[in-house]
Amino acid sequence: MKVVPLQSLTETNFNAVYLNSLRQFWKTSKNFTCIGKPKKQNLFLLLNGCGITYTLKNGNTVKAKSGDLVYTPEGSEYQAVLSDFQNENSHTIGINFLITDESGESIVLSNDILIFDISDKNDIPMHFTSSVDNKREKTYIGSRILLFNVLQCLSEGTKINTGIIAPALRYLSEHIEENPTIKCLAEKCNISEVYFRKQFKIHTGTTPSKYRNKLRLDKAVVYLKYGDISVQEISDALGYSTVSHFIKEFKGYSGVSPLKYRQMNKA
């Protein structure tokens, strides 16, 4: 299988060779497992009035809440437990699909479960409801248009829920001057270092060190625009080893030195 991230998929020639959608109502807890029986299709699952917890083969867990959209890739193995039912109309809408490249090789968006925050994507629930309610959407062409519409909506700035690494992101944000180790950050998330690195890359698109440095440089911009402290003081406050290192990093980030940036942008 070929991994093609969502943002790249919309610029890739691919074929939708299978699509099926189903709405299911849940009133009591429901357990499902495909451990030992890898999934044969990709799945988008829209949660409406319930939550779900996935336990992976390695014991790590991933949780999604009502309103989230979950992606599970072809070939994945996990145990899922639905819970937190809000009312008798709590339900899920699932779209199972297979996509291939031009040579016929299967495509997945990730090797891991992804959870999308679609709170600002009103079109996506509409597309999912349409997939199970409208006969037109169940035709060969209609169903594929539906999938393309969902993928397009998701690719337009949709945030991936950072649930499993949220403690690490929060710590980095609140301790911007520190330089925690990968081991420290992984322990805060209760996952292994290897899995932490992988999940961090999936959810942020970068490494912990680059993410941390961007936080520091974003903060430097605020100091320079709205504060009066010196460049040396800013460097110290943000945890840079030397002021020359800070100046070099800031120039690479903004294109100009900290002093020049202050002169150009002082509020």
pLDDT in tens, 24-83: 988 776 888 999 999 999 999 999 999 999 998 878 788 899 999 999 999 999 999 998
pLDDT band of residue 158 (cuts 50, 70, 90) is low
Using the Cα atoms of residue 41, residue 158, residue 149 and residue 121 in order, give the sign of their dihedral. Answer: positive
Q: Are 57 and 78 in contact (CB under 8 A)?
A: yes
Give, as one character, the DSSP assignment of residue 118.
-
Q: Are 116 and 161 in contact (CB under 8 A)?
A: yes
Single pTM value for the model: 0.65
